[in-house]
Copies of this chain bind each other. A is one copy, B any other.
Amino acid sequence: MARKRQAPAIDPDEPYLQIGEVAERTGVTQRTLRFYEEKGLLRPPTRMDGGFRLYSENDIQRLERIKRLKRLLGFPLAEIKEMVDAEEIKLQLRSEYRPESAISQKKAQLVRAIEVTEKQYNLIRQKVDDMAEMQSKLEERLETFRTWMEHLDKEAAASRKERANV
């Protein structure tokens, strides 16, 4: 009944990385890791006896999601937190056992998650639309520039010829 640590299994919950390695692997500083923890973006990792932090693959994945959101959206960390939190409700819901009594509570959580996700979705959709428009404008502009470039080349050729004909 009791699940023992399977032999070579790489349980993503198994914490084994120290902060230095995480920093190196993910490209953020140790300070940033502690800072994110402090701000609730990363939940406190398990510690070894001496107090050293030990991170799991899950922690790293969460961090990568944070990085991605930050890069893409450029939002304040507080909002990023909301977003990743919403992502993880999924996992939380899945992992909870099911006393019948808690159904309504789970429902409430789910409702909340749906709200947040919808908000996110709309926000992203809006952004994608706006940026797509900007993208096509840039494309147009490039066309214009290249046309001008051709004109300039012709002008230059013409003026060279003229001078040669004098």
A-to-B contact residues, CB < 8 Å: 68, 72-75, 87, 90, 93, 100, 103-104, 106-107, 110-111, 113-114, 117-118, 120-121, 124-125, 127-128, 130-132, 134-135, 138-139, 141-142, 144-146, 148-149, 152-153, 155-156, 159
Contact = CB atoms under 8 A, between A and B. Distances in A.
Given A114-B145, A117-B142, A145-B113, A132 B127 contact: no
B135 A103 contact: no
Contacts of A75: 74
Nearest to A103: B156
Q: Which residue among A74, A118, A156 has the maximum number of chain B CB atoms within 10 Å of its CB?
A: A74
Nearest to A158: B100
7 contacts: A104-B156, A107-B156, A110-B145, A110-B149, A111-B149, A121-B135, A127-B131
A77 to B, nearest CB: 12
Given A128-B132, A135-B125, A159-B100, A149 B107 contact: yes
